[in-house]
Amino acid sequence: AGDLIISSGDDRALFVDCVEHLVNRMPTGDRNLVSAEYLTQNCVLAVRARQRHAFAASVPVPVFLEYVAPYCTFNEPRDLWRPLLANVVDPLVAGASTLEEAALRVNALVWQQWDPPIHFVPQQTRPGRPGQLSPLAVIRAGNASCTGLSIFLVDALR
């Protein structure tokens, strides 16, 4: 748990706000599914990403809480994607000076970071056949439909 420590007071306050925001807006079905440890790790990593990159610190706190901090996008399975994607995305955005530059880098490069590269496969989200929706499922399969790829990109940008 030592690696989950946030040292500065401002960042601790943002961490607390992050956890409270996610708990208050948590989908009903997640209340018995998502653990306090999961939320803690998610919020610590979100705050750390904000600390590491000057462009990320420019995001207003309400926008950060609503669009960067969340652990899910849709109804995808809840897996612990943030540590893996943070390790992959951080080098891609190192040195970016704006949010736009960082986002363009992620969108252009994140797909090729896996072996095989992640690619589009149509019609995977049909009734009774949900396809790959969570980021870790997309990585394991190496592909997804537009829904799975969209969720993957949103989470990579977070």
Tens of pLDDT, residues 126-156: 666 666 789 999 999 999 999 999 999 999 9
pLDDT above 70 for 34 = yes
Determine the pLDDT at residue 70: 97
- In a 13 Å sphere around the CA of 88, the CA atoms on its Cβ side amount to 23
Whole-structure pTM value: 0.90
- Higher per-residue confidence, 35 vs 128: 35
Determine the pLDDT at residue 130: 62
